[in-house]
Amino acid sequence: MTAQSTEVPPKAVLTDFGGVLTTDIFASFRAFSERVTGDRLAVERLLREDETVSRALVAHERGALPQAGFESALADALRSCGADVPAEGLLAGLSAGIRPDAAMVAAVGRLHAAGVPVALVSNALGDDLYRDVDLPSLCDVAVISSEVGERKPGRRIYAIACERLGVAPEDCLMIDDLEQNLNGAARLGIRGLHHVESASTIHSLELLFPQAFG
């Protein structure tokens, strides 16, 4: 479902962080991966396909494994690919190319300022992912996977966001760059807006929430 096809406009917005309010996180991962392994997709394959790394990522996102534990698991896997990188600081290296997306930050800030209920719904990655963004100026609540023990695309993290906003799931719109996360939200009746690039996402928001962009 696209935002444009919705007949009744949503009342509230749930938004992802990395890849929506920031530049493409995978572009940063690929630049790091190419630099240390010569293969720009090596890190992504490890995150998806290496059982130890995948388990560590899930545990880290749920708050059950500290950053250092995840970095250690990923560093061990990278060594098996011929990249001898230290575990300490590995996430900082992976994330070095991630920057706030000024246009999207401004658009979500306008929604929030106009009184549209906004929740950040984000899978945590490291201790410093949100360091460059003033979250209180963007959202009413921030639902971070490591803080609530739930992660996208599981239903519970979206339910928590809706409960904290006091808005029914069917009245919410979820913005995310990953379709599996939108599919997870859809299981609760939350409508989805797939973020590919800022201009089209902002245009959709302008149509749905004219009171914030007039």
In one letter, which amino acid is 45?
R
The token pair that represents 16 in the structure block: 């992802």
Q: What is the pLDDT of residue 2?
A: 47
Lookup: tokens for 183: 């599919």
pLDDT at 135: 87
pLDDT exceeds cutoff 60 at 181: yes
Task: Give per-residue burial for 81-96: e unless 16+ CB within 10 Å, then b.
Answer: bebebebeebbebbbe
Cis status, amide bond into 66, omega within 30 of 0? no
In angstroms, how far is CA 136 from the centroid of its own chain? Answer: 17
Token pair recorded at residue 101: 């997306």
82 Rama sector, left if φ>0, alpha if ψ -120 to 50, beta otherwise:
left
Say how far apart CA 94 and CA 85 lie, in whole Å: 12
Per the structure block, which two tokens stand in for 76? 């061990």
DSSP string, 105-138: HHHHHHHHHTT--EEEEE---SS-TTTTS-GGGT
Distance CA 128, CA 109 (A): 21
- Residue 4 confidence class, pLDDT cut points 50, 70, 90: very low
pLDDT of residue 123: 97
β-strand 191-194 against 141-144: which pairing, if any?
A: unpaired
Predicted model pTM: 0.93
What do you get for the CA distance between the two ends of the chain, in Å? 25
Average pLDDT estimate for 45-52: 96
Instruction: Provide the mean pLDDT of the chain.
Output: 94
Whether 64 contacts 129, CB under 8 Å: no
Dihedral angle sign, alpha carbons of residues 119, 120, 122, 124: negative
Q: Which residues contact 76 (CB under 8 A, 6 or more apart)?
A: 52, 87
